[in-house]
Structure 1
Amino acid sequence: MTDLTTPAPPVQQTPVQPRIWPHPAWGWFAVAALMIAYTSSFIDRQILSLLVEPIRADLGISDTEFSLLAGLAFSLFYTLMGVPLARLADRGSRRMIIFVGIVVWSVMTVACGLANSFWALFAARVGVGIGEAALSPAAYSMISDYFPPRMRARALAVYSMGPYIGAGLALMIGGGVIDMIARHGSLTLPFVGELAPWQQTFVLVGLPGLLIAALFLIVREPPRHGLVKADKNAGVLKFMWARKKTFYAMIMGFSIFGIAGISYLAWIPAVLIRQHEWTASQVGFTYGAVLLLAATPGVLVGGWLSDWLSARGRKDAPLYAAIIGLIGCIPFAIATPLFADVNLTIASLAGFSFFAGVMNSLPATSLQSVAPNQFRAQVTAIYFLIGNLISLAGGPTIVAAISDTLLGGSQKIGLSLAIVSGVCITVATLILIKTLPHFRASVDEAEEWQGGHQ
């Protein structure tokens, strides 16, 4: 007979493991909010290019002065302010830095609409650049702390769709919206006075940013993972220089590819207009559609490919996936500007845009994989600084210079684009292939900072 007074043996329970990474729902909410912010930032910065003629006419400025508004006023301060803002992001609340940045660039976009002189508009564009500099370094760092390495590339890819969606929407529907506002004519507001249609456009584009900023009052700041040991914490530049065969080789490879990418954005419209006799509106709608329908899926495929390779044991997964994307780009980059049939040109442009999209999020994924937590935003900002200086300063100018001085003039801009992009993407690919073993060694080192939490 069983002794009912004898206590039963204790049930063995598996201890509940503490959650190391935030709940995926919070992570994907943050990624969605960041992607919306990134899309908004690109619409804010691109809308200026659609307002060239009315701004020149109202303010009485030259093409050179307008080029300063589109280039120097924004890009110089965008790249230079990225590093100090990233340093703040590596030490403080990233979501609050992003919140303030969105408020600043949205208010300054509205200020563009209130400007009534060249220098007022120049100052507002500087403000847009400073505000937008706060976003990506902090965003990449946040996403890397929301997701373990095996899921990180997909999350970063979703965020990285923002530029293509923003630029695509600006090209596809921006002109229509501007025409609609122009048909209604000037608008008079209390305390502000009369606003021309181009000024109304800036106000209309800038105000929604304040609602987007409010999302970051809900987004949570994730706990930081992968801090370096104290004896290694000697500053980001010293840290990167000690591993220059990984960091600076990758940055140079990705930046040289950027020459081709920026050159395409700058000169493909001219190729379609000069060689195929398209109108500007045809180019805007078609190129916008290509960015949305070909480049955006490419970004997602790049993130998926990197995570798929990682799950199968490749320590160099993001860099290896980037190389695959670059190799895929090469034939399309060369062929697109050379086709005589415009349909083949557009099909080839879609192919180039897809593979460029595959590559798009992988520089950040690669850098985040080997950067310790307290340097992640700064490493990203340094990459943007070097990459923008190389690609923005070199790309469009090199293509134009070769066309004008070596190939016989503006009608050869397509041939020049094919030469420059083909050479640059090939060189970038070779640099990154050579970097693979150094990258794998850096990943081994980074596993110590992650504490084995993959």
Structure 2
Amino acid sequence: MGRDFSKAYLVWVLFVFTLASTLSIIDRQIINVMIGPIKRDLGGISDTQVSLIMGFAFALFYTLMTFPAGRLSDRFHRIKIMSVGIAAWSFMTMLCGLASQYWQLFLARMGVGVGEATLGPASNSALADYFSPAQLPIAVGVVAAAPFIGQGLANIAGGPLIDYLEATPNYVLPVVGELFSWQMVLIIVGAPGLFVALLMWWLIEPERKNKVRSDDQSVPLSQVWAFINERRMFFFLVFLGYLCLATQGWSLFSWLVEFYVRNHGWTRTEIGLSYGTIAMVVGIAGSIAGGVIASVYIKRGKTDATLRVVWLSTLILFPMAAFLTLTEDAYLALWMLIPVTFCMSMPPGLIIATLQTIAPNELRGQMVAFYLIAVNFLSYSFAPSLPALLSDFVFGSELALGKSISTLAVINYSIAGVCLGLSLKYYRRAVDMTKAWRN
């Protein structure tokens, strides 16, 4: 399956990478199923305030550390970088569970972002050396299913766990003292990451392939920016399109549980189990399906396959996502989540495969970092706050979450569809430029 490793070992690599990515999403998203208890126990903070903990607090240092992590990943031992990062964010997640004031939780969430900044650049750079170009979309698709596995587990386990802990008195731990239910959840979900950090540490670093430099020095920043500038229309259109996709995705994921609790009267356990199952099963299927479809077209000579699949999935997704939170039938909305989740799960892995096909080895980590900075910072910083701001200041009601999410869907998917469609010719041009320097 791979160039230098057995098929069994590559399966193990994918398992560890996917497990690490899944834990990163759980640690990042578990707060979303505990909005009500957190607001209550931190003094009745507003939706907007809690959205800043969900998004901006995490994204600030996540973004600041992503490009340095990318530079390190393009020069040093990627496996060790990821292992240290996993241990760091897991510890900070547990530290979030010790926060008793708003500012303490805000600062601890910043620390989670610092640790998670190492994973994206290092893992995607390493995957491109473990797998061949034709196999890469499938491999990345498997790892890219992690957000949906993480979302699923966070909802399946988080909802029932918080409901169970809410029904019991506050907990008292030695040295730490009394803890609220949501604090216990954060400590519980953060602990397994320390074990995963050890699993990552024991993996073998793959040999770097497709290098354009014979030495081990980092590519000068001037050359990095020259590379980006030569392909500026491609990066602008693709990153703007993906920014809109990511913004809508995080807006929906951040508030879906609370939307069902407020607007449909469901318990966190009910929506957690329902959507958690959909996210895990359908999200995994969609992510892998996107990679398989793209790989088939690549083998047939379609150079824009990865990006074309993303564009088509966006066009299919648009009308369903816009209607999803407007229907008053909770079960119809739940059924609609199946195709919506399937289509939403395709783009994350395919953008990584897209970037890896146009970048030399020495720039792969930095290209992923550039993407994460340009897209993830803005989307993850502000996406959780956008529905809250619309509900608080435009519609003037906490029950207007559905209208807020639907309004954002129309705006985001309209822009994404146009940008991704226009980007296809620039992607083909970038691929041709890559073939030229490889030859």
* C-alpha contact (below 8 Å) 1:330/1:425 kept by paired residues: yes
- Any idea what the Cα deviations from partners look like across 1:193-218, whole Å, max 9, x if unmatched? 45444333222212211110111222
2:33 pairs with 1:45:
no
Task: State the alpha-carbon separation in 2 of the partners of residues 65 and 358 from structure 1.
Answer: 31
5 Å-filtered alignment, 1:31-110, equals: 31-55=14-38, 60=43, 62-63=45-46, 66-110=50-94
Counterpart for residue 350 of structure 2: 362
Q: Distance in 2 between matches of 1:86 and 1:309?
A: 30
CA shift in 2, pair 1:90/1:229, >3 Å: closer
CA 1:241/1:175 → structure 2, altered by over 3 Å: closer, same or farther?
same
Please point out which of 353, 361, 371 is paired with 1:383.
371
CA distance in 1, matches of 2:242, 2:132: 24
Taking the aligned partners of 2:420 and 2:265, their CA distance within structure 1 comes to 38
- Rounded to whole Å, the distance in 1 between the matches of 2:388 and 2:221 is 44
**Residues 21-36 of structure 1: pairs in structure 2 closer than 5 A:** 21-36=4-19
Q: How many residues matched?
A: 433
Contact 2:388-2:401 within 8 A present in 1 as well? yes
In the TM superposition, what is the alpha-carbon distance from 1:65 to its structure 2 partner?
5.2
Give the AA of the match of 1:317: A
TM-score by length of structure 2 reads 0.88
SS class of match (1:235): helix
Deviation at 1:270, TM superposition (A): 5.6
Q: CA deviation at 1:304?
A: 0.7
Cα shift readout 1:307-356 (whole Å, capped 9, x = no counterpart): 11111111111111111211221221233233343332222221111111
2: CA distance between counterparts of 1:261 and 1:211?
Answer: 30
The higher radius of gyration belongs to 1
Cα distance in structure 1, aligned partners of 2:106 and 2:149: 26
1:249 aligns with one of 237, 240, 257 = 237
The alpha-carbon distance between structure 1 residues 192 and 232, as it changes in their structure 2 partners (threshold 3 A), is: closer
Residue number in structure 1 paired with 2:185: 201
Letter in 1 for 2:28: R
Q: CA deviation at 1:366?
A: 0.9
Q: What is the alpha-carbon root mean square deviation over aligned residues? A: 2.9
Q: Tell me how far apart the structure 2 counterparts of residues 120 and 130 of structure 1 sit (CA, whole Å).
A: 16
Q: Which runs of 5+ in 1 are unaligned?
A: 1-18
Letter in 2 for 1:339: T
SS at match of 1:308: helix
Partners of 1:411 and 1:118 lie apart in 2 by 24
- Deviation larger for 89-98 or 246-255: 246-255
Given that 2:159 and 2:268 are in contact with CA atoms closer than 8 Å, whether structure 1 keeps it comes out as no
The answer for the alignment partner of 1:226 in structure 2 is 210
Distance 1:241 1:225, change over 3 A: same
Give the CA deviation at 1:131.
Answer: 0.5
Q: Are the counterparts in 2 of residues 61 and 118 from structure 1 also a CA contact under 8 Å?
A: no
Q: Deviations over 1:202-243 (max 9, x none)?
A: 222122111101112221111112223589984322311121
**2:325 aligned with 1:325, yes or no?**
no
Q: Structure 1 residue 165 and structure 2 residue 149: aligned?
A: yes
C-alpha deviations, 1:90-130, integer Å up to 9, x for none? 11111111000011011112222334444443332221110
SS at 2:346 equivalent: helix
1:91 alignment partner, SS class: coil
Distance of 1:441 and 1:177 partners within structure 2? 50
* Partner SS, residue 134 of structure 2: helix
* One-letter code aligned to 1:49: N
Corresponding residue of 1:430: 418
Higher relative contact order (CA 8 A, sep 6+): 2
Take 1:88 and 1:339, find their aligned partners in 2: how far apart are those partners? Answer: 48
Distance, in Å, in 1 between the alignment partners of 2:213 and 2:280 is 43
CA distance in 2, matches of 1:140, 1:235: 21
TM-score, structure 1 normalization: 0.85
> What is the match of residue 216 of structure 1?
200
The offset of 1:260, in angstroms, is 2.2
Secondary structure of 1:263 counterpart? helix
- Provide the C-alpha distance between the structure 2 equivalents of 1:247 and 1:106, rounded to a whole number of angstroms: 33
| Deviating more after overlay: 59-68 vs 77-86 | 59-68
Contact map agreement 2:51 2:388 (CA 8 A) in 1: no
- Aligned to 2:325, the other structure's residue is in SS state helix
Gaps of 5+ in 2: none
Q: Percent identity?
A: 35
Residue-by-residue CA offset, 1:344-390 (whole Å, 9 max, x unaligned): 22222211111111223111111111122111111112211221344
Secondary structure of 1:149 counterpart: coil
Aligned partner of 1:294 in structure 2 is: 282
Find out whether 1:348 has 2:336 as its counterpart. Answer: yes
Matched position secondary structure for 2:345: helix
